[in-house]
């Protein structure tokens, strides 16, 4: 399935926006006053990270109250940590211990470090945890630099036994730095390589039967065909979320049955189940009752330059076992709500979605996921660096829940700058303001939005993070609790805030209100972000404009705004202009 990219031939759509003005002039959502009573309520409801955030950003006046609240928060974290350990909830214990260490809250860790808690998962002999999952957890959560040599050797042996070439590629630089010389079949597995015929055996056709649909009064079969590939010998398969969305989307009310076809038996449909899914990254994990001969592995992160040869395997148009080749056209494309994607020019069509993208050495680069319907040869793939981070959550099952601060960002002069603070969000309850520069997170320096997004993805809702920031040249630190990311943050912001407050994150222009009247709402532009929609539309600082109509296309998540503007670049002659923007952009974290 190809996903249409929003191109704003907006002038064609003016007539569809009649009579709608959005929330222009809407009063902002008030910030609830922080009191000892409110913080006690958060503690009683188990929202300890939120209670700590409120206490550090907007402390109560009474010293005695503050000390009592700090003690209650500490006792709450201690109780949760002890409960998690007693119930073998090692990942929950890891998240709690990581949060309190970040916040400087002292609890009794019972002789465990964060690495110790994750090792309990990695070394587990539970039949429910495959060797692949153990190694994905190790890769995401362990601090390899601080591991003892015996742990590194043990984990390496696990990867050799599992023939996980990708993990060995990842850990090899760590072993060399530590002076560890692995024994056994390490070198053999590391240098192994599948032939193309073997790679094909690791791919599948994903086939979703959605019954019948009516077109022009005629009933026709409703089928969704995609691709996928094995990543685990226990029958786990990666594909795109949009291919299998009817299986898990609560808004879909029709018939839906999921199957896969193996590459060497394309006539037989094997029932499959969805284990986990992530609509933000358009990825899903399936499982079938089959032991694959070939499994794909994610190796160490590589930087692929434009012009790098690549090839894709999939089922374009349902034609199974098809290999197409091309090159990487560009990297760093902003096409998803989080992170960047790879642009490729390999022939990719309907049915390729969810298939593997590989380099000339048969290394897994990423997962094919989209194309632009209006143009041939413009296709995209999700880089493996994101998928490796997501896999432990996908294995745990259900919808992946991403952490959220409630900030929209832009990049200016190698700085990550806040352009918007979402009302009601975790950041909305702090002292962060528009124009604040984010310099680091948990001590790790930040110089790009993509880097900050990758760092945030390492955490989970309910955890505490510490941001190093700067405002008006003055550095300061702040603690934040992470909430659960909304499906589309900009849509939530549009519903809850005054629309003009979103002009900067969505269109790239800051404004001051001039007046409100029956002929429209008048503003003047005070700043323009370079490369933004406003900039590319020829708008300038001090241009006055009146908002005529606003419409949201809920199906395609696009906001349209019709304005009357006197542009300086046009001699201040008044003209009509339609601006359009995808609500799935805005660089929200």
For tokens 């358009």, the residue is 282
How far is it, in rounded angstroms, from Cα 485 to Cα 403?
Answer: 5
Catalytic choice (10, 131, 256, 353): 353
Place of tokens 């499982």: 287
The percentage of residues in the chain with a pLDDT greater than 70, rounded to a whole number, is: 93
Q: Is residue 31 part of a domain?
A: no
Among 140, 174, 192, identify where a domain stops.
192
Please give the C-alpha separations between residue 44 and each of 72, 107, 328, in angstroms, as whole numbers: 9, 19, 53
What local confidence, expressed as pLDDT, does residue 517 receive? 60
Which of 30-39, 382-391, 449-458 has the weakest average pLDDT?
30-39
Whether residue 252 lies inside any domain: the answer is yes
Does 493 map to a domain?
no
List b or e across 77-107, with b for residues whose CB sees 16 or more CB atoms inside 10 angstroms. Answer: bbebbeebbeeebbbbbbbbbbbbbbbebeb
**For residue 487, what is the DSSP state?**
S
Selection from 486, 462, 465 nearest residue 42 by Cα: 462
Please say whether the beta carbons of 367 and 355 come within 8 A: yes
pLDDT digits (tens, 9 = 90+) for 361-382: 999 999 998 766 656 668 899 9
Quick one: pLDDT at residue 1? Answer: 40
CA atoms within 13 A on the CB side of 210: 18
The secondary element (H helix, E strand) that includes residue 536 is: helix 533-536
In this predicted model, what pLDDT tens digit does every residue of 539-565 receive, in sequence order?
999 999 999 889 988 888 899 999 999
Beta strands 398-399; 265-278: pairing state: parallel
Same domain flag for 436 and 520: no
Q: Which residues pair with 478 in a beta bridge?
A: 467
For residue 163, give its domain range: 118-192
Cα separation, 344 vs 564, in Å, equals: 39
Q: For residue 489, is it within any domain?
A: no
Are 472 and 419 found together in one domain? yes
User: CA 507, 512, 514: angle at the middle one, nearest 5?
Assistant: 125
393 and 457 assigned to the same domain? no
> Which pLDDT score, from 0 to 100, does residue 299 have?
92
Average pLDDT over residues 158-170: 95
> Mean of the pLDDT values across residues 337-348?
88
Catalytic residue among 92, 282, 393, 510: 282
Q: Would you say residue 70 lies in a domain?
A: yes
Q: Could you give the number of structural domains in the chain?
A: 5
Are 540 and 391 members of one domain? no
Specify which residues 527 forms β-bridges with: 510
Whether the Cβ atoms of residue 79 and residue 46 lie closer than 8 Å to each other: no
Angle of CA points 224, 228, 233, to nearest 5°: 140
Please indicate, yes or no, whether residues 68 and 87 belong to a single structural domain of this protein. yes
Distance CA 142, CA 254 (A): 43
Q: Residue 342 CB: number of other CB atoms within 10 A?
A: 26
Are residue 386 and residue 242 in the same domain, yes or no? yes
Q: Which pLDDT belongs to residue 176?
A: 95
Same domain? For 333 and 212 the reply is yes
d(CA 421, CA 399): 26
Q: Range with the lowest mean pLDDT among 43-47, 63-67, 405-409?
A: 63-67
Give the torsion sign (CA, 387, 391, 392, 394). positive
Mean pLDDT of 482-504: 92
Q: Return the structure tokens found at 424.
A: 């009601």
The DSSP string of 17-58 is GTT-BTTTTPPPPPPPPP-HHHHHHHHHTT-HHHHHHHHHHS
How much is the average pLDDT of 86-102? 97
Statement to judge: residues 383 and 516 lie in one domain: no
**Does the annotation mark 402 as catalytic?**
no
Decide: residue 446, CB within 10 A, 0-12 exposed, 13-18 middle, 19+ buried.
buried
282 is catalytic: yes
Task: Give tens-digit pLDDT for 183-238.
Answer: 889 999 999 999 999 999 999 999 999 988 888 888 888 899 999 999 999 999 99
Give strand pairing partners of 515.
522
In a shared domain, residues 433 and 471: yes
Determine the pLDDT at residue 351.
86
The CATH number for 547's domain is 2.30.42
Mean pLDDT of 390-411: 96
User: 3 in a domain, yes or no?
Assistant: no
The reply to whether the predicted model has a pTM over 0.85 is yes
Confidence of residue 451 (pLDDT cuts 50, 70, 90): very high
- The pLDDT value given to residue 10: 38
Among residues 355, 376, 399, the one where a domain terminates is: 399
What is residue 276's three-state secondary structure? strand
Average pLDDT of the chain is: 90
Same domain, 368 and 272: yes
Note whether 525 and 553 are within 8 A (CB). no
In the annotation, is 353 catalytic?
yes
H helices present in 107-193, as ranges: 114-122, 131-141, 149-161, 165-178, 186-190
pLDDT digits (tens, 9 = 90+) for 12-60: 333 333 344 567 777 766 666 778 888 999 999 999 999 999 999 877 6
Residue 325 lies in a domain: yes
Q: Rounded mean pLDDT of 88-114?
A: 97
Q: Indicate which CATH number applies to the domain containing 288.
A: 2.40.10.120
Domain with residue 477: its CATH number is: 2.30.42.10
Could you tell me how far CA 344 lies from the centroid of its own chain?
A: 21
The confidence band for 314, taking pLDDT boundaries of 50, 70 and 90, is: very high
Query: Are residue 306 and residue 385 in the same domain, yes or no?
Result: yes
- From the candidates 99, 242, 329, 492, give the one annotated as an active-site residue: 242
> Does 492 fall in a domain?
no
- If asked whether residues 212 and 176 sit together in one domain, one would say no
User: Which of 141, 169, 192 lies at the terminal end of a domain, its last residue?
Assistant: 192
């Amino acid at each position: 399935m190809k996903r249409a990219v929003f191109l704003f031939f907006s002038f064609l759509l003016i007539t569809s926006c009649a009579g709608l003005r959005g929330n222009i002039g809407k009063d902002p959502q008030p910030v609830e006053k922080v009191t000892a009573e409110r913080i006690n309520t958060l503690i009683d409801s188990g929202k300890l990270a939120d209670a700590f955030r409120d206490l550090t950003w907007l402390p109560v006046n009474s010293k005695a109250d503050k000390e009592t609240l700090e003690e209650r928060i500490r006792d709450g974290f201690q109780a949760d940590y002890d409960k998690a350990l007693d119930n073998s909830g090692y990942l929950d214990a890891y998240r709690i211990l990581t949060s309190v260490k970040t916040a400087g809250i002292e609890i009794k860790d019972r002789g465990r470090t964060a690495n110790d808690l994750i090792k309990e998962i990695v070394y587990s002999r539970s039949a429910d945890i495959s060797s692949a999952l153990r190694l994905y957890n190790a890769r995401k959560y362990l601090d390899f630099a601080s591991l003892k040599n015996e742990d590194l050797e043990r984990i390496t042996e696990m990867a050799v036994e599992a023939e996980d070439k990708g993990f060995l590629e990842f850990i090899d630089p760590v072993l060399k730095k530590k002076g560890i010389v692995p024994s056994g079949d390490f070198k053999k597995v590391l240098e192994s390589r599948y032939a193309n015929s073997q790679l094909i055996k690791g791919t599948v056709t994903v086939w979703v039967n959605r019954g019948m649909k009516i077109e022009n009064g005629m009933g026709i079969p409703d089928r969704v065909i995609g691709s996928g590939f094995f990543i685990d010998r226990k029958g786990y398969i990666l594909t795109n979320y949009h291919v299998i969305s009817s299986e898990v989307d609560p808004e879909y009310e029709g018939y839906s049955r999921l199957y896969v076809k193996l590459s060497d038996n394309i006539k037989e449909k094997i029932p499959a189940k969805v284990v986990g899914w992530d609509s933000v990254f358009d990825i899903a994990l399936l499982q079938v009752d089959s032991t694959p001969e070939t499994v794909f592995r994610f190796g160490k992160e590589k930087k692929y330059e434009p012009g790098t040869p690549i090839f894709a395997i999939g089922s374009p148009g349902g034609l199974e076992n098809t290999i197409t080749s091309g090159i990487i056209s560009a990297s760093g494309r902003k096409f998803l709500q989080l992170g960047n994607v790879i642009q490729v020019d390999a022939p990719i069509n309907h049915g390729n979605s969810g298939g593997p993208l590989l380099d000339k050495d048969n290394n897994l680069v990423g997962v094919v996921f989209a194309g632009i319907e209006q143009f041939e040869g413009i296709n995209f793939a999700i880089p493996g660096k994101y998928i490796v981070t997501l896999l432990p959550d996908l294995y745990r099952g259900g919808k992946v829940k991403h952490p959220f601060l409630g900030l929209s960002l832009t990049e200016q002069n190698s700085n990550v700058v806040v352009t918007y603070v979402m009302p009601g969000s975790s950041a909305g309850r702090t002292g962060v303001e528009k124009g604040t520069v984010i310099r680091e997170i948990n001590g790790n320096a930040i110089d790009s939005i993509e880097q900050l997004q990758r760092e945030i993805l390492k955490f989970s809702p309910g955890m505490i993070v510490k941001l190093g920031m700067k405002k008006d040249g003055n550095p300061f630190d702040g603690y934040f609790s992470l909430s659960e990311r909304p499906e589309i943050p900009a849509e939530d912001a549009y519903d809850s805030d005054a629309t003009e407050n979103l002009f900067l994150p969505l269109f790239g222009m800051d404004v001051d209100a001039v007046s409100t009247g029956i002929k429209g709402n008048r503003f003047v532009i005070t700043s323009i972000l370079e490369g933004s929609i406003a900039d590319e539309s020829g708008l300038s600082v001090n241009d006055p404009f009146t908002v005529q109509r606003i419409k949201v296309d809920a199906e395609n998540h696009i906001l349209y705004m019709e304005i009357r503007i006197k542009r300086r670049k046009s001699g201040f002659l008044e003209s009509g202009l339609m601006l359009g923007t995808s609500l799935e952009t805005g660089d929200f974290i």
